[in-house]
Amino acid sequence: MDAKAINPERDDNACRAVTCNDCGVYSLCAPFGVDEDVNAVLEGIIKRRATFRRGEVIFAMGQPFVSVYAIKSGSVKTFVSTDDGRIQVTGFHVAGELLGLNSMSSGIHTSEARALETTNVCEVDIDRLDELARRTPSLQRALIRIMSGEIEHHQELMLLLGKKTAEERVATYLLSLSRRFAKRNFSPTQFQLSMSRGDIGNYLGIAEETVCRIFTRFEDEGLVTIRHRHVQLNEMDALNRIAHDHHAHLRRLAESGSGEALRAVAS
């Protein structure tokens, strides 16, 4: 697609609402089965629906953990801060994802969540969710899958910060966003970066100037097209090679394992 097709003035994937089937809350309702009234289940666990403007706090560090939040539209950053004012960005969350489950063990929110743009969320009552989970094993499994995904994300972040170069980190970050948008039935190659370059650098452990320089290099090489906050990924294979993508590596291992298993059965 021609770069001119990207219109920096219009809303893009990050601010469009996900459908119910792609929403994080629906993944908690689905275990009740198609014979159940999903709308009734939703109303039973959703405490309220709320809209937050850019920069507004959804929850703050130290607040009691009473709810998790499903992002219906928009995007959110989470971060932790120290008593001397230093900040570390810990995540960038898009429509369809859940916020706050990592606070379940401590009983208080261990990070702060702020809207990066106008963001709509469904607030899920944790006591009601816990009550339903105790009565519904399939709901417990759904929660475990969601939390397993968070653990996997943090493992990838450790690999990113500990082993990869700045260029590899930026490529990995773009590919991660691509996968997450694709999972919610958005375009995997065109999306909005609602997080600032400074926040991206903070999250990736590199300077803001380095992020800008790498974006410029990727553009010069034709790998991406960037207009303001809108990004188009032009060369996915090249980005995968730069990133030494962990997910691609896992797929290759799985395919190799499946092939060996089939050969063993055949013999």
pLDDT in tens, 27-84: 555 544 434 444 555 566 778 889 999 999 999 999 999 998 989 889 999 999 988 8
Cα–Cα distance measured from residue 129 to residue 41, given in angstroms and rounded to the nearest whole number: 10
How many other C-beta atoms can be found within 10 angstroms of the C-beta atom of residue 22? 15
Lowest average pLDDT, out of 115-119, 213-217, 220-224, 227-231, goes to 227-231
- The CB-side HSE value for 77 (13 A sphere, CA atoms) comes to 22
Helix runs in the chain, H state only: 26-29, 38-45, 126-135, 137-163, 166-183, 197-204, 208-220, 236-243, 246-266
